[in-house]
Amino acid sequence: MSPDQIGFALIYISIFLLLGKLIRIKIVLFQNLFLPSSIIGGFLALILGPQVLGKFFSGDDFLANGVMTEGILQVWEALPGLMINIVFAALFLGATTPTLKKIWNYGGPQLAFGWAIGWGQYVIGLLVVLLILVPFYDIPPMAGALIEVAFEGGHGTAAGMAGTFEELGFPEAFDLAIGLATVGILSGVIFGIILINWGIRSGKTKLVKSAKEFSRLKKQGIMEFQNREPAASMTVRPESIEPLSFHFAIVSLAVLIGYVLLQGLIWLESVTWGAWTNSEVMTYVPLFPIAMIGGILLQLIFDKTDRHEVVDRRMIARIQGFALDVLILTAIASVSIDVIGEYLVPFLVLAVAGIAWNIAGFLILAPRIIPKYWFERGIGDFGQSMGVTATGLLLMRITDPDNDSPAFEAFGYKQLVYEPLLGGGLVTALSVPIVAQFGAVPMLVVSAIMSTIGVLTGIFYFGKK
């Protein structure tokens, strides 16, 4: 793989992102669905790549790989696993750590609801696998974890675990997970909009009373002139170091800290419980959840030493957003349609089961767990449980455009506890190796207990407030 191939691979990503944005502006359906340009561009690249366009040409033809070369595709296949480390390392960088009391009071109901839904995805997935997919389709039991990995974790988590799937002898799980993540985001936005319209008509929403409040520019994804704000702050002088370079170096350092921690955990396992039980778990854990811990540790250091507040959260968010756009586009563009076709029935069963559980959880649990503004707050957790955090933020922004409810603050506080564990955290990363090592039943029992704790705590503690 030459430097020219890497350069052209990045140029192609930029072109497809721009094309995705142009299509979003021009096509009303995509505007009404609030589809991100990265998803539109990813599907366009998939259609114009070897999976679709290339099928119409033989191996020696110019368009055998579509409009992409083999080198570009190789770079794209590697990028999701790299970009997810940046996304997770940046989660808490530049954010002031609130007090535990504030996290509990504001984020507690969100955490209980999200906890019940997240662990419940394991329960549903493992039950479907044990009762249907293993006996009738000979699917490995670890497929029961794919709903949470793909729906809660999203494309990034699915891509980051590609190496884990391969090492555990189920490489097809990567394509299934990417496919499920795509279904999750699409259905999250589609069903989210449907639920919001239902909530407006039935009076469940407190702040938005009409769907007509969504402006044309907002649907096109263009910020109105009166609402435009600086994308970031210049916290260091460019003549000393470019602010973007400085913040990218901070994120990279967090990833490096995570890498060192992961290698230390692998070594510790090899000389302790791994040697005693002749089993390995940490070896299969991907880097991204540990990179998130590296970011948390680095931010704790900055909380004590950064007197000039040179780490700007908005700049970190721009780096994170860029990495997420690249991740989603390349993950969708490089998915194997053949694998999904081969496992079509198990894929559909898992997708339908996951969607049904999330919708039922929102309609039944959210109003009983979240005491005030349950719709505005719960729709964010619903969006996250179907795709990525950005989906939840999008749906909350629609129901609370002026940030008049505690939805955004509570959602953010919940992430401080939730993200290190579920939704791409340690539990998500460990779930597949644990099922592969110890079987589906122990994981099913633990998941059922954890989900029940979330339900009972939410209904009988937070729901009574």
pLDDT at 153 (0 to 100): 77
Percentage of residues in the chain with pLDDT exceeding 70? 87
Predicted confidence (pLDDT) at residue 211 exceeds the cutoff of 60: no
pLDDT at 103 (0 to 100): 73
Rounded-to-integer distance, Cα 414 and Cα 297, Å: 18
Rounded-to-integer distance, Cα 48 and Cα 55, Å: 10
Q: Is-contact 416 107, C-beta < 8 A?
A: yes
Instruction: Please provide the DSSP assignment of 404-452 as one string.
Output: -SSHHHHHHHHHHHHTTTSSSSHHHHHHHHHHHHH-HHHHHHHHHHHHH
pLDDT at 225 (0 to 100): 66
pLDDT at 213 (0 to 100): 52
Rounded-to-integer distance, Cα 35 and Cα 20, Å: 10
Average of per-residue pLDDT across 206-223: 63
Question: Which are the contacts of 13, defined by CB distance < 8 A and separation ≥ 6?
Answer: 76, 79, 326, 329, 330
Rounded-to-integer distance, Cα 317 and Cα 315, Å: 5
Average of per-residue pLDDT across 44-53: 84
Predicted confidence (pLDDT) at residue 210 exceeds the cutoff of 60: no
Domain definitions of the chain by residue range: 92-208+336-462
Tens digit of pLDDT for each residue in 350-385?
A: 889 999 999 999 999 989 998 888 888 888 889 888
Q: Is-contact 433 164, C-beta < 8 A?
A: yes
| Residues in the chain, total | 465
The overall average pLDDT reported for the chain is 82
pLDDT at 61 (0 to 100): 67
Tens digit of pLDDT for each residue in 239-260?
A: 889 999 999 999 999 999 999 9
Q: pTM of the predicted model, to two decimals?
A: 0.71
Average of per-residue pLDDT across 64-89: 81
Residue 63 burial by Cβ neighbours in a 10 Å radius (0-12, 13-18, 19+):
middle
Instruction: Please provide the DSSP assignment of 203-269 as one string.
Output: T--SS---GGGS-HHHHHT---GGG---SS---S-TTTS-HHHHHHHHHHHHHHHHHHHHHHHHHHH
Q: Please report where in the chains the tokens 């756009």 appear, as a residue.
A: 325
User: Which of the two residues, 447 and 171, has the higher pLDDT score?
Assistant: 447
Q: Please report where in the chains the tokens 């006996």 appear, as a residue.
A: 135
The segment with the largest mean pLDDT, out of 74-78, 191-195, 440-444, is 440-444
pLDDT at 444 (0 to 100): 92
- In sign, the C-alpha dihedral spanning 236, 241, 243, 248 is negative
Q: What six digits make up the tokens of 326?
A: 């690249």
Q: CA-CA distances (angstroms) from residue 133 to 125, 172, 351, 413?
A: 10, 15, 13, 37
Of the listed ranges 155-169, 394-408, 433-447, the one predicted with least confidence? 394-408
Question: Which are the contacts of 61, defined by CB distance < 8 A and separation ≥ 6?
Answer: none
Helices (H), 56-160: 70-89, 100-128, 134-137, 146-147, 154-160
pLDDT at 364 (0 to 100): 92
Helix (H, G, I), strand (E, B) or coil at 66: coil
Percentage of residues in the chain with pLDDT exceeding 90? 18
Predicted confidence (pLDDT) at residue 81 exceeds the cutoff of 80: no
Backbone angles phi and psi of 411, in degrees to 5: -60, -40
